[in-house]
Homo-oligomer: A and B are copies of this chain.
Amino acid sequence: MSDALFASLAEVARRLRAAYQRQPGVNEASLPDRESVALLARQLLTLLFPGYFVAEPVGGARLDDFLCARLAAFEGTLLEQVARACRYQARREGGSEPEPAALRGLVAELLADLVAVRELVITDVEWAYANDPAASEREVVVLAYPSIVAVSIQRFAHRLYRRGIPLLPRMLTEHAHGRTGIDIHPGAAIDESFFIDHGTGVVIGETSRIGKRCLLYQGVGLVAWNPLARGADGELVRGAANKRHPDLEDHVTIYAGATILGGDTVVGAHSVIGGNVWLTRSVPPWSVVRLADPELVIRQRRSV
């Protein structure tokens, strides 16, 4: 019996080997991997909100130990994954591989960024509490809201993005997307005090800029008008060079299901965009945009 089983497995193995020859090939520890990035995200949230995500003693005298052990572990994971990402890019672009010292310097800067991110997420917590009548306490925002997970991870990923680290930033925000249904590209520049209520289905594009104290509901999209536009060479224009997503000025509120499109579209400060609105042009500050009640057809049904 074993023989037939082994023969069958061997045949599958041979054919899979052949199939692995074609891109994207095999990740021979030369790229980051999803498992390690999930670990990185967990380590990040643990450091940003001690005791809220992981059950562990962090009070009083234990805080030093917590910081020492957690920072060291976070630094280790980050260094390994940043190194893989940067070496990968160097190989693709024919550049020289990054020096260990340079990588360490980069990671040291990212550790410093961690403090700045903590400062920002405090404003997010406060803004969420200020805007959700269901938030009975400030702490429940950290303990239960998906917005905190998605925005905190994006804020850190954005730091990696701005420092030119490839692959990792997007992997981090997609990890958050999988956990929350909120998809924010690491390229988006988001100012302080940002909150997304419920959140499922939100999409925020790479080149969006969002001001202070903005508030979004579930299903809102800040997206490209024509995502498939191509340059003179017929190729997609990739990345930040192609400003294709809208901007929000300060204190903008967008209700559920609304879609804002286009790289030149700017929603002026203090504006309110109603639910399900489809907006393709800029509106000045203090605008209120809403769908006129769509015509409804209502009739009485007979009993089943």
Nearest residue (CB) in B for A126 is B23
Neighbouring B residues of A64 by C-beta, 8 Å: 1-2, 5, 13
Nearest residue (CB) in B for A20 is B50
Flag if B284 contacts A19 (CB, 8 Å). no
Within 8 A of B (CB), among A195-230: 197-198, 200-201, 203, 205-206, 217-219, 221, 223-224, 227-229
Q: Which of B69, B125, B146 contacts A23 (CB 8 A)?
A: B125
Within 8 A of B (CB), among A262-284: 270-272, 275-280, 283-284
Taken together, the copies of this chain in the complex come to 6
Does A233 make an interface contact (CB < 8 A)? no
> In the docked arrangement, what's the CA distance between A173 and B144, Å?
8
Does A95 make an interface contact (CB < 8 A)? no
Neighbouring B residues of A112 by C-beta, 8 Å: 11-12, 15
Mask: chain A, 152-171; 1 = CB below 8 Å from B; 0 = not: 00000000000000110011
| A interface residue count range (under 10 / 10 to 19 / 20 to 34 / 35 or more) | 35 or more
Neighbouring B residues of A183 by C-beta, 8 Å: 198, 200, 218
Flag if B297 contacts A289 (CB, 8 Å). yes
Q: 9 tightest CB-CB pairs across the interface, nearest first?
A: A27-B51, A28-B59, A6-B10, A68-B72, A69-B72, A144-B174, A65-B76, A13-B67, A2-B13
CB of A250, distance to nearest CB on chain B (Å): 12
CB of A10, distance to nearest CB on chain B (Å): 4
